[in-house]
Structure 1
Amino acid sequence: MSLIKQLWLAIALVTALSLGGSFIVSTLSARHYLQQELALKNMDNATSLALSLSQMPKDGVTVELQIAAQFDTGHYRLIRLTGPGGDVLVEREYGGEAAKAPHWFMALVPIETRAGIAQVQDGWHQFGTLQVETHDRYAYDSLWTSTQQLLWWFLGSGLLAGLIGTFALKRLTRPLESMVEQAEAIGNRRFITIPEPRTLEFRSVVRALNALSERIRTMLTQESQRLEQLRRQTQHDELTGLFNRSQFLNQLDAALSRHDADASGFIYALRITSLAELNRHAGRARVDETLVRLAAALRAFPLPAARLDHGRLNASEFALLAQGEGEDSLGMLDTLTAQLHALVREQLPEAELFAASAHYTAGEARGPLLASLDGALARAEQSGARHTVIADARPPLYTSADAWRTAIVKALEHGGLALHRFPVLDMAGQVIHYESPVRLCLAGDWLNAGQFLPWAARCGQAERIDAQVLATACETLARDPACPGLSINLSTEALGHTSMRESFIATLQAHRQIARRLWVDVQESSALRHPTEFRMLCTALSALGCKVGLKHAGQDFAHIPGLHELGLDYIKISAAFIRDIDHTPGNQTLVHSLCTLAHSIGLTVIAEGVGNPGEASTLAGLGLDGMTGPGLPAAPDRTMPGSR
């Protein structure tokens, strides 16, 4: 029951008790007063009339006329004159209307008065006894009127007190609403602070909640900083700050296994020849300074890609991995090569730098890709090229954007979109939910998302694909009540575009019951690029019961602003951290710390890309809640076609 209702009940109870007590006291007091007044009036009137009759002639007509005149001028119920022998000489009694007060009221509060008695003398002899009783109907009417006035007064006072109390209580409890919001936010793992109210009791509670939020926020900040420091120690080259070889190759493996719009890209490599000779002639300090400047220039060069990873493969080789690259990225590589060559020659005139690049697509094997890149670097060295040598690439499925658009639209119109199922298992081997990557049938083959989504985004078809993916997932969940849940990917375009995001939310609002079994994956890089939109999405989907999480997480997890206030449900750690984790103690420590940080704000942690039983066995002891990947015992692949 709300405080307002409790206040009204209290006021009604107090008013009833006050009215009852006041009614009893005032009524009894008024009755006592009226009884005394009526008794005095009876006595005075009887004495006065008896004196008048004593001085008058005692014939019957005169006495009767005097008594009748007195009776007619006053409010009497009875005037009776009896003789010494008890016989009634004259009697007048009122036989008109009774009091206006209700009978139940007169029965509840009876007014009893003594009659006025006086002796009528005839000289020295007693003529008779006079009895006078004033009518009590006016007393009852007066008492009833005063009681009604008292009742209305108390009702009006109670109503006024209730209205004043309501406004006062709303004003006093206004800070309570903020306290409730803060408590709910803490329950949803959002540790916010609110201004301290003026009310002393509320102030102490708010101060305690704010202290709790600040303490947890400080702890999370410190843990995030420690996690970032640990990541740099285990994954980065000590001199240049770039990824070391093993981690860069893990990043490449994770990029090749992606199935989203950022699944294609290119790898760019550069090599400084004769580094050992340069160390002997120019000195190690000068060479190290040149390498640091080279790494800084490589990292600072602006390439229009969804994600850029930079690594040092060995002492003299550097690499850049561009995921989801823009159309102009490859054309900018010659400019990058020229700038880096000029920087190295400025520091070390005798140095030579050569560069090469190779394009990759989702599902491609790492070995052949790196072999083609090495071949391109070898050709650059043999020819002495000052530009970027492009490795041989496989011909694309379609040669133009218009051809891609036509093929994608045709596939969508003819039911060529489908969702596949890959189980996400908990540590006991039970299915948590199914990942549902999208597939599109083009040129007779089912292509994974990484092969067609980049072109779909360029052709303006990303919104249509997102809408069909969501509709297919909702239809599947409605058709299969036993399914524990499906996870679908929300594209970067849908997250950053207002109308696409609102359409996505509106569809889920129309399927509220199904929304509770839907898991929405958002790429960590997308959340970093669109932090405000991501916060709005988390708020809207959480209200619908839908689970929201980060996919390919870990690299920038500690950098997401307001992580503890977003209300996320889970994270999926990128396969770049999982590859060969059974042989990488540094990544084991990093994943364990990441789990500790995520669990501290109530997130479920799932490992992506588990490739073999050794990785799965190692992950089981690091505190994860679930895992997925080709190295796990998987349920049969089930395809969920779109509406036809």
Structure 2
Amino acid sequence: MSLLKQLLLSVTLVVAGILAGTLFVSLDTARQYLTDELEAQSRNAASTLALLMSQPSNQDRATRELLVTALFDSGQFEEIVFTPTSNEETFSLEIDRTTQPKAVPAWFSGLVTLEAKAQMREVTDGWQRIGTISVMADDQYALQSLWQSVFRLLFVVLGAGVIWALFAIVLVRWFRRALKREITTQLNAISNSNAPTSISHEPVETHFSELHDVSDAIGQARERIKATQAELDSRIESLELELNRDPITGLANRKYFVNDLRRRMERQPRGAVLEGHILLFRQRDLAAINRALSRVQVDEWLKTVGQRVQAAVSQFPDIPCVLARLNGSDFVLLMLTPSSLDAIRLAQHVRKTLTQLQVTLREGGASRWAYALIDAGQYGDVSTVLSALDHALMRAESSGHKDIEYVAQPMQVMESKTAPSETEWSELIRQALEHDGLVLSYKHRHYHNDLDEIQRYEALLILLDRNREGAAIPGFLFMPAAQRLGYSSQCDLKAIQLALAWLTDNPEDLVLRISLASLLHGKFTSTVVEMLHAAPASVVSRLCLEVDAFALVSGSAEVQTFCRDVVECGAKVGLRNLGDQPEALIYLHQAPFSYLKIGGDFVAGVLGSPGSQNLLGAVIQTARKLKISVLADDVPDQGTANLLMRQGIYLARSEQEGSEPSG
């Protein structure tokens, strides 16, 4: 039997099975529907008749029998039986089938049965039960309707089968001609045009007559194609190299980098990890650069960036590197060195090179780069590496500093090492905002000097993952994603709402951090002012909103407006991380800060650094003139503590964790 005949037979059997199944399912569905309808009819009739017979005026036997007879005479019921509870005789009416012709053939009624059950209801006289009424609907009308429906459906099925048979005959004849004409012609055309096709095995003799010509054509084309295989392989290799290069910079593209990284990670022995670090750097102002320069100039600038970074990397010949451009604004550098110091040294050299390539923007200022550095050996596959890089870049973009955001260990955002994608972050944050998934964590802080002390609570925003019971994500992990996705202002407004609720129930002062992205949002300041005006003055006076020194430098006008409006409402504002952004000193007089906070590396190194001591003197002198308190965290030793104490700076004592509810 030929292949086409086998195909036709198999398809015909399938179609026949489908049609038979359709007939069976339709018949069974109709049968079940009619059964339900008969039971419903019996149930309604029994309920109605029982209600009529329970009326006080229908309690005598003659009336009850008259009601039963009236319902039975409608011709819709096969049997009606009234069974009294007393010793009275049972009254029943039943259709005599022997005197009536059947509506359907006997074999059909035996094959398709309507299993409608008799429905029973109680008949009462007031509160006393006097009997039971049983009603069974006549199924002959339903069987007749079902028989007519089956007959029509069978006619349609047979008609469809005949049409299919005719169509299949025409289809087979057409396909047999087309198979010989079209397939053979295409194979000959492919071989004559040296198409890139290779046959590495001998042609197999077919057992189907329809494919004999096709097999002959393939065998003839095989030898001709084999002669051009080497040339085609060379051309394919050349095209692959072109596909793996960025057309503007000439660097490796995203596809090549990802495949190369995956290949390197998969080649590692069992239990071993890839010894290397990855630097991702993004041009944050590429859109503004496109507005400031022409397209040709932008392409030339991007090409220069690639060349200059390659030249910078070549100065470290002992560190094998792979430089690639992932997309329009993202570049990545794989440094195959297990030493974090070597990786940081090379990354800093790349950062210094890129700083020299900044573009002056129309809006003022220079273009900005964001840098993220991770240890690739801490991750098991490419997807987790890319997720970690993206999350580290989020932190770099939201931190405000111009340094490299180095993540030495995997960020334990949730239960797994994999940082959520932007889509997952968006869903988490959106659900938290909609379903009260944001809470505050409170920490008691105590600052003191020789003359005075300051006690207060500091609040940190926490995101509760409702999908994982007990999973809490701190603000320093999810707020970078919130800022990128445009949720930062909503999160900070929710935090202020929670802080005001906490202050209503607690007498202490509370400090809450505000992000730069929120301060730059158009309606954020006015919304905060409305919230503060709506709160009691005794609550607002104990709230302090803390901004970063980088925010004061980057968004000076917006931050100054925010600080002045908040203070006018009765709250206080503070400035943190002044040691990391000393240029913020020139803006201190333009905002009514109640305190400045220093810490980190600035405080840790002030004792041994004359430059840091001079900067500290300038901070203290400016703060005294403006009557602003200076607070210090991260004091490393007693010598540093004595130096700061002599200057009247408030030093942080040991912290006690608080667990107050978020209100």
TM-score relative to the length of structure 2: 0.39
Greater radius of gyration (CA): 1
**Structure with more relative contact order (C-alpha pairs < 8 Å, separation 6 or more):** 1
